[in-house]
Amino acid sequence: MASSIEIMESNLTTSKNQEEKCELKPEFDDNGSLKDDGDYPSGEFEFKKPGAWKSFVVKLRMLTVYPLQRVRKGSVLNIKLRGKITDQVKGRFSSGLSLPQICENLIKAAYDPRISGVYLHIETLKCGWAKIEEIRRHILDFRKSGKFIVGYAPVWHEKEYYIACACEELYAPPSAYFSLYGLTAHASFIGGVLEKVGVEPQVERIGKYKSFGDRLTRKNISEENREVLTTLVDNIYGNWVDKISQAKGKKKEDIESFINEGVYQVEKLKEDGWITDIKYEDEVTSMLKKKLGIAEKKKLPLVAYKKYSKIRKWSLGLTGGTDQIAVIRASGSISRVGGSFFEPNSGIIAEKFIEKIRKVRESKRYKAVIIRIDSPGGDFLASDLMWREISLLAESKPVIASMVDVAASGGYYMAMAAQTIVSENLTLTGSIGVVSAKFNFGKLYERIGFNKETISKGQFADMYTSHRSFRPDEEKLFSESAQNTYKRFRDKAAASRSMSVEKMEEIAQGRLWTGDDAASKGLVDAIGGFSRAVAIAKHKAKIPQHKKVRLVEVSKQSLSLPQILFRMMTSATGLNHLKDGLISSDGVQARMDDGIMFQGSEGSSLAVADPIFNLLKDYLNFV
């Protein structure tokens, strides 16, 4: 939907047909795959066995062009999934797992004649459900090649089992720890803590569901926040039960009984079909050797994930199109300007992002643009400036916003400038609202013997001073400013989504939605991952679906080694970006609540980390 209009007045109207369109649910076929829509093609992976000529060319390239990237015939791709997974394409000195590279490796392995199968070793994962869904989808796509994929994990929580169930076979050691007790959501509150240390947060949040700020002022959860979190947990849990039911061929009631039993004996899990067999890792290796006809004394030819990431898609005949689509990735909290070399800001820096957008807009090379967004929001001004540049880009090229784990508040603000928004079914999005705050440290200053004097000229010159609370006239100005900002956000969202302001007000108010619910409310156009975003971009650019395109990463990570070392050193001492934004004079924030944790039974965060210790440390450091 076009979104190049700047400021939208509240009298904008929409047709009845447009409002009815906003209530459409995404449709799925009997196998749970997304149905193809004329305007929003599914991008469903179709494995096509290479012909004789193409196979010959690929083999020739492997022998001559890329001799240093040789992989033995009959090798097994070994992917170890553990810890944090980012949506960034990793640079030379980067470590950790990259979602784009995990997915690309599975696609390459499906076509690589040297790869016989995949061995997936899964440990505890720390990422959101959208990334989990995308990995799971690519595992199912890989299986279309007819090659085997085996999953192994010593510890099984909800996310790990969800991914593993997409594999052909599942293995666990006799001492495996199964903890599939369901899902929880936690909301942290430090209002009582701040009260005890003498800090008074003065927070103005617009939207009854805008819970950001509650953790600073409240000691318990609000009814509105409880309503939102209950819905989110229900949606995530329901999706988990549905997909596990499909994968294991069991009734949903049996899945829920399995969760609620609470005691998991590995032998019983094998007997009831929850896992394939009980094996130690060396026994799985022996089993794979037998499957490949390799003698027990010989070594299993495993290819590590990092090494295989260096294999070029071109060498496998998976590229070759002349049409180019730009990919711009935007991950993390939003701020307007970057830091210094010694204290660099992480996340989305508006000034750098805008440079990339302008570069792509001015170039005639790109037929379409995909913006991958994984952000809880941040600085409102920065979000608006990026919205403007994306809107200008959308006037000259098709722009598709592809959401990852989170695209909420300022993250959604960016997305709504695109012509089409694609999200995963469990992406956290929406949260159309704003919050602004200042902190009164007066009582704390008094306790520690600190004094601060201010000399000012102008009625409101010192309204943001930290040693006193707002006067009534200052509080009125503060509130009106936040209200006006919210109205601009809401009205732009309404116009961008071809919706009346009244309709948008019903679904805005700072409320967080999952992707499925956002699609039914008209905030999102299509459900799917990056491959669907590519298919839609090709459709909008009038590129036939069967034709190959070149995906050009405009925002590939390219930090130098010294910068990475400095980031590691400064991360422990730098002040929290949240504090920087909220106490600044222009610190209006379009951000979802960082204090919410969606947890599985393992107790690790599925979305964003609990901030209590960092908040206290940073606030006290600042004082």
Q: Burial, 298: exposed, middle or buried (Cβ in 10 Å; 0-12, 13-18, 19+)?
A: exposed
Q: What DSSP element (H or E) covers 589?
A: strand 589-591
Alpha helices in 38-112 (DSSP H): 52-64, 99-111
What span, in angstroms and rounded, lies between the C-alpha atoms of 113 and 122? 25
**Assigned token pair, 228:** 């939102």
**Assigned token pair, 223:** 């009814």
Gap between the terminal Cα atoms of the chain: 47
What span, in angstroms and rounded, lies between the C-alpha atoms of 251 and 48? 33
What distance lies between CA 334 and its chain's CA centroid?
14
In terms of Cα–Cα distance, which of 281, 304, 309, 318 is closest to 75?
304
Q: Pick the catalytic residue: 145, 335, 409, 531? A: 409
Cβ(15)–Cβ(406) below 8 Å: no
**Between the CA atoms of 439, 440, 441 and 444, what dihedral angle is there, to the nearest 10 degrees?**
-120
Active site residue 521: no
Residues in the chain: 623
Cβ(377)–Cβ(410) below 8 Å: yes
**Assigned token pair, 338:** 């970057």
What span, in angstroms and rounded, lies between the C-alpha atoms of 118 and 121? 10
Q: What DSSP letter does each residue of 134-173 carry, written as one string?
A: HHHHHHHHHHTTT-EEEEE-SEE-HHHHHHHTTSSEEEE-
Cβ(611)–Cβ(577) below 8 Å: no
In terms of Cα–Cα distance, which of 596, 599, 600, 598 is closest to 610?
596
Active site residue 409: yes
Q: Which residues pair with 324 in a beta bridge?
A: 366, 550
Angle at alpha carbon of residue 575, lines to 573 and 578, rounded to 5°: 145
Q: Please report where in the chains the tokens 């952000």 appear, as a residue.
A: 375
Q: Please report where in the chains the tokens 């083999």 appear, as a residue.
A: 59
Q: What DSSP element (H or E) covers 240?
A: helix 223-248
Q: Please report where in the chains the tokens 């869904």 appear, as a residue.
A: 133
Q: Pick the catalytic residue: 108, 147, 159, 210? A: 210
What distance lies between CA 605 and its chain's CA centroid?
13
Catalytic residues: 210, 409
